[in-house]
Homo-oligomer: A and B are copies of this chain.
Amino acid sequence: MLVEVPKRAEVVGTLKIWDVQRIIKLDADEIGAIAIKNIKESDIKEVVSRMVIVIPIKNERIHLLEGVLKAIPYNCPVIIVSNSLRDSQDIFKTEVDVVSHFHNLTSHPLYIIHQKDPAVAEAFREVNYLEILDGDFVRDGKAEGMLIGTIIAKYLKKDYIGFIDADNYIPGAINEYVKDYAVGFSMAKSPYSMIRIHWRHKPKIIEERLYFKKWGRVSEVTNRYLNALISSITRFETEIIKTGNAGEHAMSMKLAEIMAYSTGYSIEPYHYIYLLEEFGENGEPKYPEAASEGVEIYQIETLNPHLHEEKGDEHVQQMLVDSLATIYHSKLVTEEIKKKILEEIEKEPEKRLILPPIRDMDVDKFVKVLEESSETFLKFEKTEGSS
* Interfacial chain B residues near A203, Cβ < 8 Å: 61, 63-64, 169
Also in contact, A106 and B171, with CB within 8 A (given A27-B73, A207-B208): no
Is A151 an interface residue, CB under 8 A from the partner?
no
Q: How many copies does the complex hold?
A: 2
Majority-rule SS of A interface residues? loop
B171 touches A107 (CB 8 A): no
- Residues of A at under 8 Å CB distance from B? 2, 23-33, 36, 61, 63-64, 67, 70-71, 73-75, 104-108, 169-173, 175-176, 203, 205-209, 303-305, 307, 310, 386-387
Instruction: Specify the chain B residue showing the minimal Cβ separation from A211.
Output: B206
Minimum CB–CB distance for A63 against chain B, Å? 7
State in angstroms the CA–CA spacing of A16 and B28 once bound together: 34
* Interfacial chain B residues near A106, Cβ < 8 Å: 2, 24-25, 28, 31, 33, 36
* Interfacial chain B residues near A67, Cβ < 8 Å: 303
State in angstroms the CA–CA spacing of A252 and B32 once bound together: 31
State in angstroms the CA–CA spacing of A31 and B29 once bound together: 25
Q: List 30 A-B contacts (CB under 8 A).
A: A2-B105, A24-B106, A25-B70, A26-B70, A26-B71, A26-B73, A26-B172, A26-B175, A27-B73, A28-B75, A29-B75, A29-B387, A30-B387, A31-B106, A31-B107, A32-B387, A33-B104, A33-B107, A63-B203, A70-B303, A169-B203, A170-B170, A170-B304, A170-B305, A171-B304, A172-B173, A172-B175, A172-B176, A172-B304, A206-B206
